[in-house]
């Protein structure tokens, strides 16, 4: 196994532990904003989507002629992930402002 | 220099900010700042990606961000707080869908030179992403009422699901060995994972939705993390894992709240339709005490402390504002008002808390199960609004009840229990609630919002 892959696995395992430590401290009253906020964070896939939609000139033969499948998939992925990111952070902000003493 | 050092450092900064942001979510006072910190982290990650040298064309990127940003902003502004479970289900699904699409895109971009590890990561990412996508769409449809909330079951369901999972693993191995064409295998895995997501959520009933949404939330994070393995991008791995961990914690809390294991929730269909009911109605109505709101005023006015227990019925009736109003009126009369919230009340973790916060109930009046339970014995009135299974005393001792062992709110220990309910129909678990027949229980039949508003005007 290459060191690259090992490092990725290290990062993955350690990040899960950090996540457990940090999120256990979130009180039940904030569990809905935690979900919508973490939802927005999972929109990080947008990073991969941008690379897919913005990077290739490769064209692939399909039934509909030569198409850049990677770019098309990347574009749809950007739309999905941006809804997640923008919608997620905005609705979380809207909710958190309601919690008052 | 820019490519090899600057961008990785920016990704690291973004990962650190995500963690700090989540940490600030641990208190309502710092939480809004935490959310903005996480949003800043996302912005940094996006800008860094635009600087990556492989990204050479920006048309599609800009178009995608504009379209997605518009849809997201409108959804976030317009959504009713009662519809948060649906919105979160939809967002979970889109996150999973995006991971599936990115992994597939990367597969076509790499062409024929795919390392074994990358291919297994792609297969994984498509599999988890696909399940999350269709599973969340089914959860959304059930919550939105587009699909019946009751479990849909057929014989051999688990065998079929197991066979699908197994075939995905076998297909991926065959493709890596070279005995099957990779492009064909990728298409089959996409199809199978989308099918599995659907099959996996249809047998799960409405009351188990908090578990399913938490689990799908976890999946959407894990899908992003596996996409990070595909792209060799630590930023995705870290952020995805944080979300994965968060979802697992919430899933665990929800399961404990029902005293069921995750396997039991996923593989045992529990629940009936909303209008389900097995007993002859006339008999049960005679066996309970039922008052009109105006008959209850004296009891409320003489109470020292009352505990309001909200459930999904409050959300359905959109009664949260009226409930908060009732709380204020009672406090003006010198009654101490507290809210007791069960972990699985509503359709997602923290659902009731958000509704009450929207109605301007201060968060220090909202209490968890463990904190409020010792108080019921010293409480004159417990007011149950649209909750049922979470207050069923049978959970304590009746080993034959499906609710047995579930931690419940001890409302029956207070002097008087008022239950606001539309009718005598059982809760989502389909179980008769003996609480309603207790001597100290008084039923107030009718729409929760109307009943509470009558109480408010009687007490004013």
> Exposed, middle or buried by CB within 10 Å (0-12, 13-18, 19+), for B274?
middle
Q: DSSP assignment, residue A84?
A: I
Tokens of B350: 């923290």
pLDDT band at B428 (very low <50, low <70, confident <90, very high): low
- Whether the predicted pLDDT of B2 surpasses 80: no
| Mean pLDDT, residues B399-412 | 91
- Between A31-42 and B351-358, two packed helices, what is the crossing angle to 10 degrees? 110
A4/B61 Cβ within 8 A: no
pLDDT band at B90 (very low <50, low <70, confident <90, very high): very high
How many domains, in total, are found in chain A? 1
Query: Which range marks the domain in which residue A77 is found?
Result: 28-96
SS3 B271: coil
In angstroms, the first-to-last Cα distance of chain A is 54
Residues B414-427 have pLDDT tens digits of 999 999 998 887 76
- Is A18 within a domain? no
CA dihedral of B354, B360, B363, B367, whole degrees rounded to 10 = -70
- Is A71 within a domain? yes
Q: Which residues of B touch A48 (CB under 8 A)?
A: 99, 102, 105-106, 227-228, 230-231, 233, 236
| Mean pLDDT, residues B228-249 | 95
| Mean pLDDT, residues B228-235 | 93
- Is A10 within a domain? no
B353/A29 Cβ within 8 A: yes
- Is A21 within a domain? no
Helix (H) or strand (E) holding B12: helix B7-24
| Mean pLDDT, residues B263-275 | 68
Please state the pTM of the whole predicted model. Answer: 0.92
- Is A5 within a domain? no
Q: Which residues of B touch A66 (CB under 8 A)?
A: none
Chain A contact probe: residue of B27, B31, B46 with most A CBs at under 10 A:
B31
Residue B59 or B196, more confident: B196
Catalytically active residues of B are 389
Chain B contact probe: residue of A56, A83, A97 with most B CBs at under 10 A:
A83
* Contact assessment for residue B405 and residue B395, using Cβ atoms and an 8 Å cutoff: yes
Q: How far apart are CA A18 and CA B20, in angstroms?
A: 11
Q: Given this model, what pLDDT does residue B308 score?
A: 97
**Residue A21 Cα, gap to closest chain B Cα (Å):** 9
- Whether the predicted pLDDT of B280 surpasses 80: no
pLDDT band at B283 (very low <50, low <70, confident <90, very high): low
| Mean pLDDT, residues B174-189 | 94
* Contact assessment for residue A4 and residue B121, using Cβ atoms and an 8 Å cutoff: no
Half-sphere exposure of B9 (CA within 13 A, CB side): 6
* Contact assessment for residue B311 and residue B390, using Cβ atoms and an 8 Å cutoff: yes
Q: How far apart are CA B360 and CA A13, in angstroms?
A: 40
**Residue A57 Cα, gap to closest chain B Cα (Å):** 9
* Contact assessment for residue B421 and residue B312, using Cβ atoms and an 8 Å cutoff: no
pLDDT band at B251 (very low <50, low <70, confident <90, very high): very high
- Is A16 within a domain? no
Please identify every stretch of chain A with a pLDDT value under 50, giving residue numbers as ranges.
none
Average pLDDT, chain B: 91
CA-to-CA separations, B153 to B138, B267, B402, B449, in angstroms, rounded: 14, 10, 18, 34
* Contact assessment for residue A96 and residue B83, using Cβ atoms and an 8 Å cutoff: no
- Whether the predicted pLDDT of B225 surpasses 80: yes
- Is A8 within a domain? no
**Residue A97 Cα, gap to closest chain B Cα (Å):** 7
- Is A13 within a domain? no
- Whether the predicted pLDDT of B175 surpasses 60: yes
Q: How far apart are CA B136 and CA B209, in angstroms?
A: 11
- Whether the predicted pLDDT of B254 surpasses 90: yes
């Amino acid at each position: 196994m290459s060191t690259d892959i090992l490092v990725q696995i290290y990062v993955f395992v350690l990040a899960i532990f950090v996540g457990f430590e940090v999120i256990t401290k979130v009180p039940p009253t904030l569990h809905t904003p935690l979900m919508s906020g973490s939802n927005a964070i999972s929109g990080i896939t947008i990073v991969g989507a941008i690379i897919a939609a913005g990077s290739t000139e490769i064209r692939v033969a399909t039934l509909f002629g030569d198409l850049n499948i990677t770019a098309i998939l990347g574009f749809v992925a950007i739309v999905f992930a941006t809804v997640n990111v923008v919608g997620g952070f905005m609705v979380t902000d809207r909710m958190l402002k309601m919690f008052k003493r | 220099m820019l490519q090899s050092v600057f961008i990785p450092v920016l990704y690291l900064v973004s990962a650190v900010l995500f963690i700090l942001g989540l940490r600030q979510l641990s208190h309502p006072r710092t939480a809004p700042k935490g959310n903005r910190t996480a949003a800043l982290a996302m912005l940094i990650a996006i800008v860094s990606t635009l600087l990556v040298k492989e990204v050479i064309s920006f048309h599609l990127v800009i178009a995608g961000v504009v379209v997605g940003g518009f849809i997201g902003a409108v959804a976030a502004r317009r959504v009713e707080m009662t519809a948060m479970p649906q919105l979160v289900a939809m967002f979970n699904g889109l996150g999973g869908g995006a991971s599936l699409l990115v992994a597939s895109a990367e597969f076509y971009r790499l062409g024929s030179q795919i390392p074994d590890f990358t291919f297994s990561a792609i297969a994984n990412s498509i599999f988890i992403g696909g399940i999350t996508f269709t599973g969340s769409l089914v959860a959304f449809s059930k919550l939105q009422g587009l699909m019946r909330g009751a479990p849909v079951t057929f014989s051999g369901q688990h065998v079929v699901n197991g066979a699908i999972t197994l075939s995905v693993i076998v297909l991926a191995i065959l493709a890596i060995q070279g005995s099957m064409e990779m492009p064909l295998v990728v298409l089959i895995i996409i199809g199978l994972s989308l099918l599995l997501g659907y099959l996996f959520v249809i047998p799960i009933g409405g009351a188990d939705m908090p578990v399913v949404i938490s689990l799908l939330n976890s999946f959407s994070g894990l899908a992003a993390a596996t996409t990070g393995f595909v792209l060799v991008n630590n930023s995705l791995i870290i952020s995805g894992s944080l979300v994965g961990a968060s979802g697992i914690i919430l899933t665990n809390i929800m399961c404990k709240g029902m005293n069921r294991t995750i396997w039991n929730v996923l593989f045992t269909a529990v629940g009936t339709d909303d209008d389900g009911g097995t007993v002859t109605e006339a008999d049960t109505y005679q066996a309970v005490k039922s008052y009109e709101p105006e008959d209850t005023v004296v009891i409320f006015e003489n109470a020292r402390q009352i505990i309001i227990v909200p459930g999904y019925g409050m959300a359905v009736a959109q009664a949260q504002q009226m409930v908060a109003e009732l709380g204020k009126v009672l406090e003006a009369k010198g009654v101490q008002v507290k809210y007791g919230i069960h972990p699985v009340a509503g359709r997602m973790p923290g659902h009731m808390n958000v509704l009450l916060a929207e109605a301007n109930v201060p968060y220090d009046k909202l209490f968890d199960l463990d904190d409020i339970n010792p108080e019921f014995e010293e409480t004159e009135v417990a007011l149950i609004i649209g909750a049922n299974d979470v207050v069923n005393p049978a959970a304590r001792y009746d080993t034959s009840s499906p609710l047995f062992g579930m931690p419940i709110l001890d409302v029956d220990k207070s002097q008087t229990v008022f239950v606001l309910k539309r009718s005598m129909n059982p809760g989502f678990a389909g179980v008769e609630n003996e609480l309603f027949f207790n001597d100290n229980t008084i039923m107030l039949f009718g729409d929760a919002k109307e009943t509470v508003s009558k109480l408010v005007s009687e007490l004013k």
